[in-house]
Structure 1
Amino acid sequence: MQILRIDSAVTGENSVSRELTQALADHFAAKNPGATLIERDLASNPLPHIDAVTTGAIRLPQDAHTPAMQAAFPAERAVLDEFLASDVVIIGAPMYNFTIPSQLKAWLDRLGVPGVTFSYSEAGPKGLAGGRRVIVVSSRGGVYEQDTPFEHQETLIRDFLSFIGVDDPVFIRAEKIGFGPEARAEALADAKAEIAKL
């Protein structure tokens, strides 16, 4: 079994999402002794935003690659293969300015590959990357209901995962982090109680 942990918060030891992704990693490791844990920290080791080279490297057939795309392909494809090889994927997704951190978006961009994680037909898009359990840690300073004007965090992640075939992600929420120390402690305790139920 392989567990993939993705962190994207830039707040280091003060990060709520990192505390909860650690709790999730510990939870699943305890339930699955011998599991392999892969950790990708997108804040300390960010992926570059996609450009013509990186997009071509992961989306075009290899016989259509330029020399620059050929050079970029191994590292770009490794990000996708890491995801596809994982049975459990833990995603730390704090809300930054009503959406996800840009470094997390750069990671998601490596997962949307036609013919690999989704396909198109006359019936519309079909996700091809199901078959893994995805748990998203959603941390927020306030409270944001889905489908409200300021909520572009969970909605984006849920829609993207659905598009590539992950239809049932679990969201562990820690909200009201910005309301003070007591609210933060309560949010963490509630989120950890939810993790214990998984």
Structure 2
Amino acid sequence: MNTLLHIDASARPGRSGIDPHGSHTRRLSARFVERWRAVRPGDRIDHLDVGRKPPSPVSGEWVHAAFTPAAARAPWMHETLAESDRLVDQLIAADLIVVGLPMYNFGVPAQFKAYIDNIVRVGRTFGFDRARGERPYWPMLADAGKRLVLLSARGDFGYGKGQRIAHLNHVEASVRSVFGYIGITEVHEFAVEYDEFGDERLAHSLAQAELGVDRLVDALAAPRHAPPAMA
């Protein structure tokens, strides 16, 4: 049995196509999860809605507590890190992380940035040792075989690699960097564009993204080391 961690980061509560003003990213992430459940009904699925219930932002007290060795932490430090500990435990337990991640003003929503800041933890998801010289940091999840799926939505169009406004897209690249830093480097992406236009181009973009999601589920749900075909 595998564990899928389903994260929604949109401030919109509903799904497009079902609810008025619903979220495209919630629509895509729900489609992924529903199809995954149909293909792998025995897997565990955890849902985390940071769009509606964002984690607390990092504070000075949080940083002090996080960089204090666990054995030396005062009770208030454990309390300060309790939410972060739960989020890190949930991430570590997951084999596949699927994120509904809209673009807000060219970057990730503040709610998801708060999540990132809570799960990038010294001693838990990345290591730090000054004795290592110029390379004191290392990823702690590198050998865990985790996979990340980013399902995004954008109001304009042309944010893809090599396209007209790709330089304004600070969503996928920044998330790949952060998760790569802690050791999660297998990343798959699909995005919906033309949301602000609301015409047939949006409908086509949604259809293409949904087709991509369906194919990705089939690919990721298959055994990683399938036996060779019999002659």
Q: What TM-score do the two structures reach when normalised by structure 1?
A: 0.91
Does the alignment pair 1:51 with 2:59? yes
Question: What SS does the corresponding residue of 2:6 show, helix, strand or coil?
Answer: strand
More displaced stretch, 151-160 vs 120-129: 120-129
Question: What SS does the corresponding residue of 1:179 show, helix, strand or coil?
Answer: coil
Q: 1:192 to 1:59 in 2, by over 3 A?
A: farther
> Match of 2:124?
116
> Match of 1:162?
180
CA contact under 8 A between 2:84 and 2:119: conserved in structure 1? no
Q: Return the offset for 1:17.
A: 0.4
Q: Return the offset for 1:174.
A: 1.3
Q: Whole-Å Cα distance in 1 between the matches of residues 83 and 120 of structure 2? A: 15
Q: Summarize the alignment of residues 27-42 of structure 1 with structure 2, pairs less than 5 Å apart.
A: 27-42=35-50
CA contact under 8 A between 2:65 and 2:80: conserved in structure 1? yes
Pick the structure with greater CA Rg. Answer: 2
Does the alignment pair 1:179 with 2:197? yes
Partner amino acid, structure 2, of 1:48: S
Does the alignment pair 1:145 with 2:160? yes
Q: 1:59 to 1:146 in 2, by over 3 A?
A: farther
Q: Whole-Å Cα distance in 2 between the matches of residues 66 and 146 of structure 1? A: 47
Q: Show CA shifts across 1:115-140 (max 9, x none).
A: 32222434634222232111011211
CA contact under 8 A between 1:53 and 1:68: conserved in structure 2? no
Give the paired residue count.
198
Q: Show CA shifts across 1:37-82 (max 9, x none).
A: 1111112211111112333444432233233212233322010110
Question: What SS does the corresponding residue of 1:185 show, helix, strand or coil?
Answer: helix
CA contact under 8 A between 1:56 and 1:65: conserved in structure 2? no
Q: Summarize the alignment of residues 56-75 of structure 1 with structure 2, pairs less than 5 Å apart.
A: 56-75=64-83
CA contact under 8 A between 2:66 and 2:122: conserved in structure 1? no
More displaced stretch, 173-182 vs 141-150: 141-150
- Segments of 5+ residues of structure 1 without an aligned counterpart are none
Q: 1:24 to 1:127 in 2, by over 3 A?
A: same
More displaced stretch, 152-161 vs 140-149: 140-149
Aligned CA RMSD, in angstroms, stands at: 1.9
Q: What TM-score do the two structures reach when normalised by structure 2?
A: 0.79
